[in-house]
Amino acid sequence: MSANSIQNTDPSRLGSVEDINGASISVKLLENTPGGLLFVNGEAYRVGQVGGFVRIPSGYVDLYGVISQVGAGAAPGVPEGASQYGNRWLRVELVGQGRRGTKFERGIAQYPSIGDSVHVVTESDLKTVYAPGDEDGYVAVGRVASAESIRAFLEMNRLVSRHSAIVGSTGSGKSNSVANILCSVSDRTRFQAARVVLFDLHGEYTSAFGDRARVFRVGADEKKGEKELYVPFWALTSDEFLSISVGNITGTPLVMLQDRILAAKRASAPGGSAHSLTDINITVDTPLPFSVYKLWHDLYSLQCSTHSVSKNQNQTEATRTYLPNAQGDASDSGDADLVTRPKFRPLKDVKDDPDKVYAGQYGDLPRTHLDSLESKLRDPRMQFLFRPGPWAPDVSGKTEADLDKLLDSWIGADTPISVFDLSGIPVSVVDDLIGAVLRILYDSLFWGRLKAEGGRKRPLMVVLEEAHVYLGAQAKNRAAVAAKRIAKEGRKYGVGMMLVSQRPSEIDSTILSQCGTIISLRLTNEADRSQITSCASDNLKGLFSMLPVLRTGEALIVGEAVNMPIRALIDRPAEGMRPHSDDPEVVVPMGPNGTRVRTGGWTDKILQENYEPLIDAWRKQDPNAVPKI
């Protein structure tokens, strides 16, 4: 008598194991197993749902698996012969095991046998599977979609250290999910020393975390508790500084520039005190302050100056020749701090003239790099970099504060989350700026990894919003280079990374493949689903077929931070703690009294248009700008 013809006395039993292929098994449903709902102890469970779970008792342990395929295609053998077996089959991927009523473990120590019974996973089973082993190390981020009374937990150690990615199409609830998860991992009653840095390209998260976050932005509104964004140019490496300030530079101008920077750094005084490094240990990449304005002035003078030689002098005794200033009482040597050029006498080489005026040593070099640097020094949008508040060097290289104060302001323990609002940064330098800040954070925590505030003692998580914008495939910008370094090496030194993107197919696969945990909300684009599927282990790829039909705020969570793959409903942040990412309303709904619940949209009659505040906000690069009365 076949197993399928035996009367089923266990209401939770679905069928039996008929084929085993590694961690993938084929299950034949019993003839009397209903095709819709199965009732166990008064609770209804859906039968044969892709993404659902099954339990296989095997000796002293229960094996757990995820349903990846349903129907004739799940039958063993070649697809062409599937019809001869019928269509009541399940393909199950084994993911873990656990003794009855004890902690669930990922991975399996043994395989089932042919004929072993397969059961629906009841709510009590799910509690065993999803229960955190040590609640101190887990955070709840939502509820299991198939049993909403059960909380969905993420393991903190693996979420932070092993990197993660949150992906989802526009409107899938991605920003709210990010806000909720970051609020959970920064709960100050549990994690008093949490450190999270969020790079926010569009200013969505400035009010999403309340007093849990410090917000840095150019043109900060102190009344709202925002802090001015400063990134000291002298904390950048030579390559980063040159890339942002002068562009591509090679040859003699590069050597001249590096020589000047090196000399200035050797004489600097960070925080007002002389550094303790010997000259031989200082390089152009050592984070020591110098005056970039003096650097520009000196370079301009070297390259554009003219010199005079009288008939009684040789060329080695030549002197610079300046034009008089506006008052005519002194030479016009310019002003480095005001980015005012010195004015030199024009070239002159007349045959019978007793004085000859000729170009300086570097007069024949191209001035493109100098003009670029001068333009950046004049640009008010770049002052966060070149005049970084207490970290701005004077002409001698002395600063009011050193980098320890900068790191304390960025990742100090008084606030667990730091939001870098980059909406006011010129688009041309955003990639390089993100890369520079990532590199500063990584290098400081790497070299100080054994110190109390180093990465190994107190890990840091960096969150890269809109990651596809600057971490594209084959990207060579500074942000991509820094992100790849963190993805490959950050785990060992306490720097974890979370990518957030609506287009995962556009993110470099090297970076995405290092994410140990994937939190995927609804994805409708096939290329995006393929990219995410390629990051999952082979036996779980069938689960991702459900991505296009997930509800708003619903996510498929797979990877190292969860015991088992979870289809979860992510908790929605409280009112007033949500990102500015909701869809604008075209049609404002009606209230119970027959009037619109709010103004706006296309439903209100416009009585008097006024675009003046809009233009004022545009010019000030501040959506909250208040126009003058």
Write the pLDDT tens digit of every residue in 419-429. Answer: 999 987 888 88
Distance, in Å, from the CA atom of 51 to the CA atom of 164, rounded to the nearest integer, reads 21
Stretch 331-349: mean pLDDT = 76
**Per-residue pLDDT at 553:** 92
What integer pLDDT is reported at residue 497 of this predicted model? 96
The amino acid occupying position 45 is Y
d(CA 510, CA 426): 28
3-state secondary structure 548-588: HHCCCCEEEEEECCCCCCEEEEECCCCCCCCCCCCCCCCCC
- At 401, the amino acid letter reads A
Residue at 197: amino acid letter: V
Token pair for 592: 């119970």
Residue 349 identity: D
- The percentage of residues in the chain with a pLDDT greater than 90, rounded to a whole number, is 34
- ∠ CA 128-491-435, rounded to 5°: 130
- Sorting pLDDT into bands at 50, 70 and 90, what band is 5? very low
Rounded distance between C-alpha atoms, residue 57 and residue 66, angstroms:
15
Q: In 3-state terms, what secondary structure has residue 39? A: strand
Give the pLDDT of residue 234.
Answer: 94
Give the integer Cα–Cα distance in Å for 434 and 470: 9
C-alpha to C-alpha distance for 28 and 14, rounded to whole angstroms: 8
Pairing of strands 43-46, 37-40: antiparallel
Burial class (CB in 10 A: 0-12, 13-18, 19+), 264: buried
Quote the CA–CA distance of 138 and 572 in Å, as a whole number: 19
Alpha-carbon span 325 to 343, nearest angstrom: 8
Structure tokens at 15: 């069928």
User: Higher model confidence: residue 4 or residue 91?
Assistant: 91
Q: What number of other Cβ atoms are within 10 A of residue 132's Cβ?
A: 17
Evaluate if residue 397 carries a pLDDT over 90: no
Question: Would you state the pLDDT for residue 165?
Answer: 95
Tokens of 285: 């990449």
- What domains lie within the chain, and their CATH numbers? 3-131 (2.40.10.170), 138-231+406-570 (3.40.50.300), 238-376 (no CATH)
Rounded Cα–Cα distance for residues 94 and 108 (Å): 8
Which ranges of 231-342 does DSSP label H, i.e. alpha helix?
Answer: 238-245, 251-266, 292-304
Half-sphere exposure of 308 (CA within 13 A, CB side): 12
What is the structure's pLDDT at 539? 61
Residue 365 clears pLDDT 90, i.e. is over it: no
| Residue 132 structure tokens | 């955190």
Instruction: Lowest mean pLDDT of 21-25, 125-129, 285-289, name the range.
Output: 125-129
The pLDDT value given to residue 248: 82
Among 233, 159, 240, 221, smallest CA distance to 196 is for: 159
CA torsion, ordered 53, 59, 60, 61, to nearest 10 deg: -20
